[in-house]
């Protein structure tokens, strides 16, 4: 269903300075298996919950039932959430229904998904102006229940929807946090995020599944794909376990060849949302100052999202001739929903006549393979995931595989992939600046930075 071709990272193909020998890969396989065992322990003792999500049939049924009850009463689903509480819904919508500009007319049968993540006031106002409060179903999502962006936008949306309170669902932590309190008080339809599932690993929890079901995505098929992939990701055989194989390749390229940037390069507009979801997953999980033993490491590979073929005309010049500090992961699609047949013409014009009678599917595939070959020529390591198709089963499997890959990479690096201490200070300083009670000391800390800036020459 999903394959990984990692041959183009081999030293034989990209040279010793940039590639890994098959001997090195073989010698590291035992280390990869230890990473698998360590992560399996975290999954079994319940400290990390995402591997279990696709198996929670009861939760999936409840969400499908809720979506069935509500169907027909709205033409827009408005998600209020940010980070891991927003990107999964976007990846699923874009993956299954395509990017917004090509989604077709929005109706009660084919509702629009609007995601209010950023607190850009003009964006928020334009979004509200584009929706009808009587036909909008709001889903507010926050695991902590108190994220500044989500809370403030939700207050605006709550007032905007006024009498439509029956059409608010809240996805948060059971029994904890201010959103839980408000949802209980105002009787929003609640859905719970398991404590052991972090935001960026939550796409297959109610965080991603509630919006997905409301826009008509088949959750059972998503879960079926993710379950099959979960079984694969527990296999010690690296030919079977593509998440472990991919994590090992990236670990070797980062730690031995200093490939500090990974470009996720989908050749499919449907996978563009997933590329942004992956960017958060890889960055926030792996970018860490200290390892599990407390040693300063400042590790992490920077994820970049590029779209094929579009970014061949934007980024690839840099990728082929600029600093050789990257590894490229192409995401290919075996069979597109449409072939894009190009009419056969005999215009006597070579550029047109050469391509007439062929298909866009063949062209996008040729362009990806040609770009990979050009990268080899320039000594740029790359690998390719191929999804047979982009449908619920394949997308569910791909998302789950990426989460496993990230968890394995965390184990290989010896860091905690499930926390995010680096984002805390800015959050607290923001609360200080916004005058939140209990955060006065951060206001003072911010003022001290300002004084320092004034003195700096």
Q: Which residues are the active-site residues?
A: 284, 313, 427
Instruction: Output phi, psi for 158, to 5 deg.
Output: -65, -40
Contact between 32 and ligand PA5 (CB under 6 A)? no
Which CB atom, from 289 or from 366, has the smaller least distance to ligand PA5?
Answer: 289
Range in contact with ligand PA5 (rule: CB under 6 A) among 39-47, 136-144, 323-331, 344-352: 136-144
Nearest to 232 by CA among 245, 242, 221, 222: 242
Q: What is the Cα–Cα distance from 397 to 392, expressed in whole angstroms?
A: 8
Single out the residue of 19, 111, 194, 198 in contact with ligand PA5 (rule: CB under 6 A). 198
Would you tell me how many other CB atoms lie within 10 Å of the CB of residue 167? 21
DSSP 332-401: EESS-SS--BPPP---S-HHHHHHTTSBHHHHHHHHHHHHHHHHHHTT--EEEEEES--SHHHHHHHHHH
Which CB atom, from 86 or from 242, has the smaller least distance to ligand PA5?
Answer: 86
Query: How many Cα atoms occupy the beta-carbon half-sphere of 10 within 13 Å?
Result: 9
Contact between 150 and ligand PA5 (CB under 6 A)? yes
Which CB atom, from 264 or from 333, has the smaller least distance to ligand PA5?
Answer: 264
Contact between 205 and ligand PA5 (CB under 6 A)? no
Contact between 144 and ligand PA5 (CB under 6 A)? yes
Contact between 199 and ligand PA5 (CB under 6 A)? yes
Distance of CA 359 to the CA centre of its chain: 30
Which CB atom, from 144 or from 309, has the smaller least distance to ligand PA5?
Answer: 144
What does the block give as tokens for 76? 């827009």
Range in contact with ligand PA5 (rule: CB under 6 A) among 94-102, 139-147, 161-169, 406-414: 139-147
Task: Say which DSSP state 218 is in.
Answer: -
Instruction: Output phi, psi for 455, to 5 deg.
Output: -75, -25
Which CB atom, from 83 or from 164, has the smaller least distance to ligand PA5?
Answer: 83
CB of 308 to ligand PA5, least distance (A): 27
DSSP 134-186: GGEEEEEE-SSS--HHHHHHHHHHHHHHGGGGGGEEEEE-TT-SHHHHHHHHT
Contact between 112 and ligand PA5 (CB under 6 A)? no
CA angle, 50 as apex, 44 and 56 as ends, to 5°? 90
CB of 50 to ligand PA5, least distance (A): 11
Shortest-Cβ-distance residue relative to ligand PA5: 199
Which CB atom, from 85 or from 406, has the smaller least distance to ligand PA5?
Answer: 85
Residues contacting 393, CB < 8 A, separation 6+: 1, 221, 222, 224, 225, 228
Single out the residue of 142, 203, 243, 307 in contact with ligand PA5 (rule: CB under 6 A). 142
CB of 429 to ligand PA5, least distance (A): 15
* Residues in region 271-300 near ligand PA5 by CB under 6 A: 284
Contact between 83 and ligand PA5 (CB under 6 A)? yes
Binding site for ligand PA5 (CB under 6 A): 82-85, 142-144, 147, 150, 198-200, 284, 420
């Amino acid at each position: 269903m999903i394959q990984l071709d990692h041959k183009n990272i081999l030293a034989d193909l990209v040279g010793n300075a940039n590639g890994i020998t098959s001997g090195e890969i073989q010698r590291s396989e035992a280390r990869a298996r230890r990473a698998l065992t360590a992560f399996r322990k975290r999954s079994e003792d319940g400290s990390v919950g995402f591997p279990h999500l696709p198996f929670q049939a009861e939760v999936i049924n409840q969400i499908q039932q809720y979506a069935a009850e509500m169907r027909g009463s709205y033409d827009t689903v408005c998600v209020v959430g940010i980070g891991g509480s927003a990107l999964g819904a976007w990846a699923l919508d874009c993956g299954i229904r395509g990017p917004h500009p090509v989604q077709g007319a929005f109706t009660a049968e084919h509702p629009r998904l609007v995601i209010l993540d950023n607190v850009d006031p003009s964006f928020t106002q334009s979004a509200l102006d584009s929706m009808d409060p009587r036909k909008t179903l709001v889903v507010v999502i926050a695991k902590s229940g108190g994220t500044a962006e989500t809370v403030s936008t939700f207050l605006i949306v709550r007032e905007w929807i006024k009498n439509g309170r029956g059409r608010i669902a809240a996805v948060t932590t059971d029994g904890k946090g201010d959103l839980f309190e408000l949802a209980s008080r105002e009787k929003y339809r609640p859905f719970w995020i398991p404590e052991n599932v972090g935001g960026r690993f939550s796409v297959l929890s109610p965080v991603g599944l509630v919006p997905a079901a409301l826009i008509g995505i088949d959750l059972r098929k998503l879960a079926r794909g993710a379950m099959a992939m979960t079984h694969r990701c527990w296999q010690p055989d690296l030919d079977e376990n593509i998440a472990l194989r991919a994590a090992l390749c990236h670990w070797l390229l980062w730690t031995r060849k200093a490939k500090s940037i990974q470009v996720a390069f989908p050749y499919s507009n449907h996978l563009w949302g997933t590329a942004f979801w992956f960017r958060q997953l890889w960055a926030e999980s792996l970018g860490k100052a200290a390892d599990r033993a407390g040693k300063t490491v400042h590790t992490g590979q920077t994820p970049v999202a590029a779209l094929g073929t579009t970014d061949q005309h934007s980024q690839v010049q840099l990728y082929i001739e600029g600093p050789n500090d990257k590894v490229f992961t192409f995401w290919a699609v075996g069979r597109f929903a449409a072939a894009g047949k190009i009419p056969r013409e005999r215009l006597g014009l070579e550029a047109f006549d050469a391509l007439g009678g062929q298909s866009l599917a063949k062209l996008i595939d040729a362009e990806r393979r040609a770009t990979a070959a050009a990268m080899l020529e320039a000594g740029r390591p790359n690998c390719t995931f191929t999804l047979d198709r982009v449908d619920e089963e394949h997308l569910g499997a791909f998302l789950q595989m990426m989460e496993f890959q990230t968890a394995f990479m965390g184990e290989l690096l010896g860091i905690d992939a499930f926390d995010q201490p680096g984002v805390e200070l800015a959050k607290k300083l923001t609360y200080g600046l916004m005058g939140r009670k209990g955060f006065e000391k951060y206001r003072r800390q911010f003022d001290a930075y300002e004084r320092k800036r004034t003195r700096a020459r």
